[in-house]
Chains A and B, each alone.
Chain A
Amino acid sequence: MSTSIDLPVLTPKDFASDQEVRWCPRCGDYSILAQVKKVLPTLGIPKENFVFVSGIGCSSRFPYYMNTYGMHSIHGRAPAIATGLKVVRPDLQVWVITGDGDALSIGGNHFMHMIRRNVNLKVILFNNQIYGLTKGQYSPTSPQGKRTKSTPYGSVDAPLTPVSVALGARASFVARSVDVDIQHLCMVLERAAHHKGTAVVEVYQDCNVFNSGAFEFASKKGEKEENCIYLEHGKPLIFGKERDKGVRLNSQNQPEIVELGKGISEDDLLFHDEKADDPTLAFLLSQMRYPDSPEPMGVFRAIDRPTYDDEVNDQVREVSEKLGPASLEEMFNSGDTWTVA
């Protein structure tokens, strides 16, 4: 796909549409939009070959602000729309823009099936743990007890962890980042863009109107280093401002936090392997959630797996080679025929 020699050099500006961006001031969406515009020109893909497909919700306005092909569709269905598009047009790079309600509530079924099929799509899941567009109801990722307009006495629903859901659906690529951690977010988006298969990126996104500060633990300088573990492939799980803490597996094979030194060295820690065939460790990491434990950020899993769009199109090619060129005559005359004189 990348024939970068003849391509004009694109800049983030080239990806800005003429539409006024209409998110609330200081919404986390602005940062995500900016980082996507930064990453796209680095990919060596012609602008006309990008498509952004979204569902419903604040984040799903995203395609209007990109000067690419796009569809702002209906609630929860972007993965299915993008699947149909990608199957008939494997030459395109298709991004799915979705939110916690869109992907995990009304569109949960499509989200799961897109991932298990491993359709070659890039998915940004804007997780703000709230319904913003409908003005402040709890979402499937809101913590239990959350007081919102629809849960004045606190939500009794048990929340989902998007990374765990994706891993459970056999995701070939799952990552997590935070809207304002610009460098980290760019790194993760770039990794997703280069991944072949469904690449799910959960982005913690601050809804400063209805759920302000929900992700401060992961965005505030000086605190995030204590609260987050930044995953790096092949490296031990170390965190803390002083990089003095780590994660190891205890005798029950559960992650536990340890302090380095005092007889514990890096070699005793868990080493991150995003390419592991077995998703068990990735799943264990996904279950580490703040405030019960520090939370992993970065790429949980990145493995090679055949993509649905390739498989569908390969099968069409194989069968066509086997059966020979399409002939209506042959199709009409399949089965028993007879002639009336």
Chain B
Amino acid sequence: MSAVDAETNGNFRTTEQVDAVVIRFCGDSGDGMQLVGTQFTNVSAVFGNDVSTLPDFPAEIRAPAGTLGGVSGYQLCFSSSDIYTPGDEVDTLVAMNPAALKTNLADLKRGGTLIVNADAFGKSDLSKAGYESNPLDDEDALAGYRVHKIDMTRLTRDAVADLGLSLKEADRCKNFFALGLVYWLYDRDPSTTQEWVKTKFAKRPELVKANLAALKAGSDIGYSTQAFTVHYKVPPAKLPPGKYRKITGNEAVAFGLVTAAHVSGKELFYAGYPITPASDILHELSKLKNFGVRTAQVEDEIAAITATVGASFGGAFAVTASSGPGIALKSEGIGLGVITELPMVIVNVQRGGPSTGLPTKTEQADLLMSMFGRNGECPMPIVSCSTPGDAFDAAREAMRLAVEFMTPVFLLSDGYVANGAEPWKVPNISDLKPIDFKHTREPNGKDGQYLPYLRNDRLVRPWAVPGTPGLEHRVGGLEKWDVTGNVSYDADNHQHMIETRAKKVAGIADHIPEQPLEGPESGELLVVSWGGTYGSIRTAVQRAQRAGHSVSLAHIRYLSPFPRNLGDLLKRFDKVLVPELNCGQLRLLLRAKYLVDAQGLNKMKGKPFLVSEVYDAILQHLGKA
């Protein structure tokens, strides 16, 4: 569908309506690319598009300017229909310097739009990016794209010339110039961004004016330059009715945890140590003090988990979050939580490993650490987040299991879910149920004795907190006599306690939902996945189903214990494919537990799956490739 858009200045251009567009902004890590990406996401979400985002930035705050290592990118897909991924291929690439062009051009689809800041292609800029000649002059290399070389630096300086800014300050506005141009190109209403600029720079009125002027100048260039012959519209998506906001995975985790505590009449305690990509959970929670949230930025990861254990002993809903390296440091403390059978949630926002690995990139390689990464037999429930919005429900579930079953629970997120954003339907407060728990106030043994390890029918011990008269008791890291909780080195008791702790966690399977299937109940291929890969895998499976292939998807939220029907589901398909961003960790668990010949699709590049990668693997395993 297209229309002729006859404007008063005589420019003739067409307006194309498209269903979904993928844009990537990329530039130097100091160029403000994350900011413009976020703004574009907000504006599109408020307009009513479905959005999915992929921020991709270096671990260094400012790698050497202009180098390949310093390139920061923000990709987003906005659409008039339901989408689950930020897109495989880029429709419009905005590259602010040669390094950004070099590292991103391969992802721009043939016929796509390339917008570059031509002012940033000087001799030294080119050499920092390792170009021997100016790629913008290489007509063959750029032949397949709609290329717009724009003097963004100069035009931005012109736009802010009268505002008394230093050259450096003026140049920092060029990201808004680029944003303005892309707003024009995709027919976006800039008012949300304009309001944001006014609030953000409220104390520097000259910067408000400058950024707004740059935004407008960018938009004006699109409007007045004949080069932009097409102008696109992406109508709002038909999402289920209701009120929406944009949410990132880390925000959703914070909201979920606070909500779980608040609706249960509890206050949240959170201890953490800054680590990428989990720090935003601490940032979000530290704002929510009016919910009684106590946040402690403590001296190290070990202090974070042990302070969490202490707060839980005191009766709080207690949480700590980290990423792989920090979780490794917490292992002993988590074990203390397991043997003392105190409720707490440990959030792991996974990133590329081992060791420091890839701090800002995503991976799913901590599943086996969550299962087994502690000394001794130390079973724990594990809940995972599939999408940014899903992290809200997953976090509440993790807290529910922790409190109802008196156990530490892992909540697995990842860098992609944590930093990615999507529209989130604001929940109905009345749908948010309190967690069923109580603090024991009366003795539970003979003669007024309190027995801290006297279990109920779910094998759960009572939670009596200090300050309760008559229930004074000791817990600790030494093995406990069952029932009394006294220290015990008894051989039979130790075996009994290990088996009891394992049975308690295994029994949770009866108190979580059965594993749902997306697609037919049986068939040729079952794709099994977990965590943040949901979007691309779901999209690929749906594409295969539409193409008539016999494939279903089981995307698992509860990784320990597994849903009680999972073994049965696996048997109903001829083949099982497990795509993961690791070497096959879920696959190993499935094979071990269900003796199923599961095959893997394994990617360890610090990036999410492309839909096409999963789709191709599905066809290959169906023998249709």
Interface residues of A (CB under 8 A from B): 17, 19, 46-49, 51, 53, 56, 63-64, 66-74, 77, 80-89, 91-92, 109-110, 112-113, 312-313, 315-316, 319-320, 322-326, 328-329, 331-341
Could you say which of A48, A71, A322, A332 contacts B313, with CB atoms under 8 Å apart? A71
Residues of A within 8 A of B245 (CB): 332-338
Selected contact of A85 from candidates B302, B313, B426, CB within 8 Å: B313
B470 — nearest CB in chain A belongs to which residue?
Answer: A48
Are A88 and B267 CB-contacts (below 8 A) given A69-B466, A316-B289, A337-B243? yes
Contacts of A340 in B (CB 8 A): 48, 236, 238-244
Give chain A residues whose Cβ lies under 8 Å from the Cβ of B487: 19, 64
Q: List B contacts of A333 (CB < 8 A).
A: 243, 245, 426
Give the contacting residue for B474; candidates A63, A325, A332; CB below 8 A: A63
Verify A48–B290 contact, CB threshold 8 A: no
Query: Most chain-A CB neighbours within 10 Å: which of B313, B467, B487?
Result: B313
Asked if B523 CB lies within 8 Å of chain A CBs, one says no
**Is B246 a contact of A335 with CB atoms below 8 Å?**
yes
User: Are B427 and A85 within 8 A (Cβ)?
Assistant: no
26 contacts between A and B (CB under 8 A): A47-B472, A48-B468, A49-B467, A53-B310, A66-B474, A73-B309, A73-B336, A81-B306, A81-B310, A83-B298, A84-B314, A87-B307, A88-B267, A88-B311, A88-B316, A89-B467, A109-B299, A109-B303, A325-B290, A326-B291, A331-B258, A332-B245, A337-B243, A338-B45, A338-B48, A340-B236
In the bound complex, what is the Cα–Cα distance between A40 and B572 (angstroms)? 66
In the assembled complex, the Cα of A112 lies from the Cα of B299 at a distance in Å of 9
CB of B271 within 8 Å of the partner chain: yes
Q: Which residues of A contact B619 (CB under 8 A)?
A: none
Other than the given A73-B306, A81-B306, 17 more pairs (CB < 8 A) read A17-B474, A74-B333, A74-B477, A77-B336, A81-B310, A84-B312, A85-B466, A112-B299, A316-B289, A316-B293, A325-B290, A328-B262, A328-B429, A337-B243, A337-B426, A338-B46, A339-B244
CB of B296 within 8 A of CB of A87, answer yes
Compute how far the CA of A276 lies from the CA of B45 in the bound complex, rounded to whole angstroms.
60
Do the beta carbons of A329 and B429 come within 8 Å of each other? yes
Whether A48 contacts B467 in the complex (CB less than 8 A), given A71-B340, A339-B244, comes out as yes
Contact-residue size bin, chain B (C-beta under 8 Å from the other chain): 35 or more
Within the complex, the shortest CB–CB distance from A31 to chain B, in Å, comes to: 21
Residues of B within 8 A of A322 (CB): 290
Binding site for A on B (CB under 8 A): 42, 45-48, 192, 236, 238-246, 255, 258-259, 262-263, 267, 269, 271, 288-294, 296, 298-300, 302-303, 306-316, 318, 332-333, 335-336, 340, 426-427, 429, 432, 465-478, 486-487
Q: Return the contact of A320 from the options B271, B290, B470 (Cβ within 8 A).
A: B290
CB-based contact B426/A69 at 8 Å: no
How many whole Å from B424's CB to the nearest CB in chain A? 9
In the bound complex, how far is the Cα of B305 from the Cα of A74, in angstroms?
A: 12
**C-alpha gap A51/B241 in the complex (Å):** 52
CA distance A66 to B290 in the complex (A): 37
Which single residue of chain A is at the shortest CB-CB distance from B269?
Answer: A88
Flag if B474 contacts A85 (CB, 8 Å). no
Least CB distance from A277 to B in Å reads 25
Decide: A91 and B310 in contact? CB cutoff 8 A: no
Q: Decide if B466 touches A92 in the complex (CB within 8 Å).
A: yes
- A185 and B177 alpha carbons, distance in the complex (Å): 72
In the complex with contacts A84-B296, A109-B303, A338-B269 CB distance below 8 A: no
Contact: B289 with A48, CB < 8 Å? no
**Which of A17, A86, A315, A337 counts the most chain B CB atoms within 10 A?**
A337
Interface SS of chain B: mixed
A84→B309 contact, CB < 8 A: yes
Tell whether, in the assembled complex, residue A80 and residue B46 are in contact, meaning their CB atoms are under 8 Å apart.
no
CB pair A80 B306 closer than 8 Å: yes
Residue of B nearest to A79 (CB): B303
- 8 closest residue pairs by CB, A with B: A84-B307, A72-B476, A84-B310, A81-B310, A85-B310, A80-B303, A319-B289, A69-B466
Determine if A77 and B302 form an interchain contact, defined as CB atoms under 8 angstroms apart. yes
* Chain B residues within an 8 Å CB radius of A83: 296, 298, 303, 307, 310
Given known pairs A319-B289, A328-B262, A338-B244, the reply for A63 and B476 (CB within 8 Å) is yes
Cα A49 to Cα B426 in complex, Å, equals: 42
Q: Which residues of the other chain, A, contact B466 by a CB distance below 8 angstroms?
A: 48-49, 51, 69, 85, 89, 92
- C-alpha spacing A328/B307, complex, angstroms: 26
A120 to B422, alpha carbons, bound, how many Å? 44
The smallest beta-carbon distance between B290 and chain A, in angstroms, is 4
Say whether, besides A49-B466, A110-B299, A335-B245, A77 and B474 are in contact (CB < 8 Å): no
Q: Give every chain A residue within 8 A of B263 (Cβ-Cβ).
A: 328
Closest residue of B by beta carbon distance from A89 = B314
A85 to B475, CA, bound (A): 14
B476 and A81 within 8 A (CB): no
Return chain B residues, CB-CB under 8 Å to A72: 474-478
Closest Cβ of chain B to A55, distance in Å, is 10
Contact of A326 with B292 in the complex, beta carbons under 8 Å:
yes
In the bound complex, what is the Cα–Cα distance between A322 and B340 (angstroms)? 38
A336 vs B476: C-alpha distance in the bound complex, in angstroms? Answer: 47
Q: How far is the CA of A68 from the CA of B472 in the complex (A)?
A: 5
Residues of B within 8 A of A88 (CB): 267, 269, 294, 311, 314-316, 318
Q: B243, A84: Cβ atoms under 8 Å? A: no
Cα distance A69–B476 when bound, in Å?
11
Query: B244 touching A81 by the CB < 8 A rule?
Result: no
Which residue, of B259, B308, B310, B429, has the highest number of chain A Cβ atoms within 10 A?
A: B310
User: Can you name the residue of chain B whose Cβ is closest to the Cβ of A324?
Assistant: B290
Q: Is the CB of A332 within 8 A of B255?
A: yes
Take A84-B307, A336-B192 as given contacts and tell me if A109 and B467 are in contact as well, using a CB distance cutoff of 8 Å. Answer: no
Known A49-B467, A51-B466; judge A328-B432 contact (CB<8 A). yes
Which residues of chain B are within 8 angstroms of A326 by Cβ–Cβ distance? 262, 288, 290-292
Q: Are A69 and B242 in contact (CB under 8 A)?
A: no
Given the complex of chains A and B, what is the CA–CA distance between A320 and B503 in angstroms?
Answer: 42
Query: How far, in angstroms, from A67 to B467 measured CA to CA in the complex?
Result: 13
- Complex-state Cα separation, A47 to B473, whole angstroms: 12
Contact check, B255 vs A77: say whether CB atoms are below 8 A apart.
no
Beta-carbon nearest neighbor of A68 in chain B: B472
* Cα A46 to Cα B472 with chains together (Å): 11
Are B307 and A332 in contact, with the CB atoms below 8 A? Answer: no
A308 CB to nearest B CB, Å: 9
Q: A77 vs B432: C-alpha distance in the bound complex, in angstroms?
A: 36
State the Cβ distance, B427 to closest chain A Cβ, in Å.
7
Complex contacts, A92 vs chain B, CB 8 Å: 314, 466-467
Residues of chain A within 8 A (CB-CB) of B310 are 53, 71, 80-86
B238 nearest in chain A by CB position: A340
Least Cβ–Cβ distance between A121 and chain B, in angstroms: 11
Q: Which residue of B lies closest to A47 (CB)?
A: B472
| Alpha-carbon gap, A54 to B255, bound state (A) | 34
**A residues less than 8 Å from B476 (CB atoms):** 63-64, 70-73
Chain B residues with Cβ under 8 A from A46's Cβ?
469
